[in-house]
Amino acid sequence: MNKMIVLDGVDGSGKGVQTRRLLQAMLDASMPCILTREPGGSIAAEDIRELLVNGDPDKWDSMTELLLMVAARRAHLRDTIWPALKQGSWVISDRFADSSRAFQGIAGELGLATVDKIHQISIGDFNPDLVLILDIDEHVALARAESRGTGEDRFEKKGPQYHKKVRNAFRDIASYNTDRYKLIDASGSMNEVTSKIISAVNSKFSLNLSFTEDPDEK
């Protein structure tokens, strides 16, 4: 029963930490699993990532962003996700197609119909089995993202009003299909958020995953 789980949300919502914790929980349960990310996740897709996450926030318009994202996603699926699923591994991804819906479709004002049409042409009917949306105040999330200092800050430079639209977009997306989507309150401690994620995954797939709390993250 190899499945794909996505953690998505605004920049700085904690996806990086939480995907790594979920991966560890699955490996501890002796479940074959890989962790990947978008944009990126394969050699070709990582090349495209560099174009998207660095530089001036206005260097691409929403349509160009979407086309680059979809090109990266196609390479990601072809080179990483589909082979892993075929080999019987679970896949955890930090972001996937709903980021395009939220960032370019809604916040970028292209419209969901446009995003979904391009998605269908390039990827077909493939969808993850569970999408966990980490929901947190956009100001808190941006402060976290800016503190990382990675230099990959093109989207953060678009400012809090843009990211408020992104947050609201994710909340709307999560309401469309309550079987596939789960909104996770990410405002608590890292341990509290991990507990909610593990519970959601266990409930969805009838698993018995557990995790060891980090005493420094109370």
Express each pLDDT in 144-191 by its tens digit: 877 776 678 899 889 889 999 999 999 999 999 999 999 999 999 999
* Nearest C-alpha neighbor of 38 from the set 7, 82, 4: 7
Supply the pLDDT for residue 218.
Answer: 55
Supply the pLDDT for residue 217.
Answer: 65
Three-state DSSP at 189 gives coil
The CA distances from residue 106 to 13, 76, 169, 195, in Å, are 19, 23, 6, 30
CB 96, CB 38: distance < 8 Å: yes
Residue 211: inside a domain, yes or no?
no
Residue 163: inside a domain, yes or no?
yes
State how beta strands 90-94 and 33-37 pair. parallel
Which amino acid makes up residue 80? T
* Nearest C-alpha neighbor of 37 from the set 78, 91, 84, 112: 91
Supply the pLDDT for residue 149.
Answer: 65
Residue 48: inside a domain, yes or no?
yes
Note down the domain range covering 29.
4-206
What's the CATH number where 133 sits? 3.40.50.300
Compute the distance between CA of residue 112 and CA of residue 109 in angstroms, rounded to an integer.
9
Q: How many domains does the chain have?
A: 1
Supply the pLDDT for residue 175.
Answer: 95
Compute the distance between CA of residue 168 and CA of residue 176 in angstroms, rounded to an integer.
13
* Nearest C-alpha neighbor of 75 from the set 34, 101, 41, 99: 41
Residue 214: inside a domain, yes or no?
no
User: For each successive 10 residues of the chain (218 residues), what is the average pLDDT?
Assistant: 91 94 97 97 97 94 97 98 97 98 97 97 96 94 77 86 95 94 95 97 96 74
Residue 8: inside a domain, yes or no?
yes
Supply the pLDDT for residue 145.
Answer: 77
CB 192, CB 8: distance < 8 Å: no
Compute the distance between CA of residue 178 and CA of residue 162 in angstroms, rounded to an integer.
25
Written as six digits, the tokens of 143 are: 């402060």
Cα dihedral 17/85/175/156 (nearest 10) = 40
Three-state DSSP at 154 gives coil
Residue 212: inside a domain, yes or no?
no
Residue 216: inside a domain, yes or no?
no
CB 22, CB 149: distance < 8 Å: no
State how beta strands 181-185 and 130-135 pair. parallel
What is the length of the chain? 218
Question: Helix, strand, coil shares of the chain as percentages rounded to 5?
Answer: 55, 10, 30
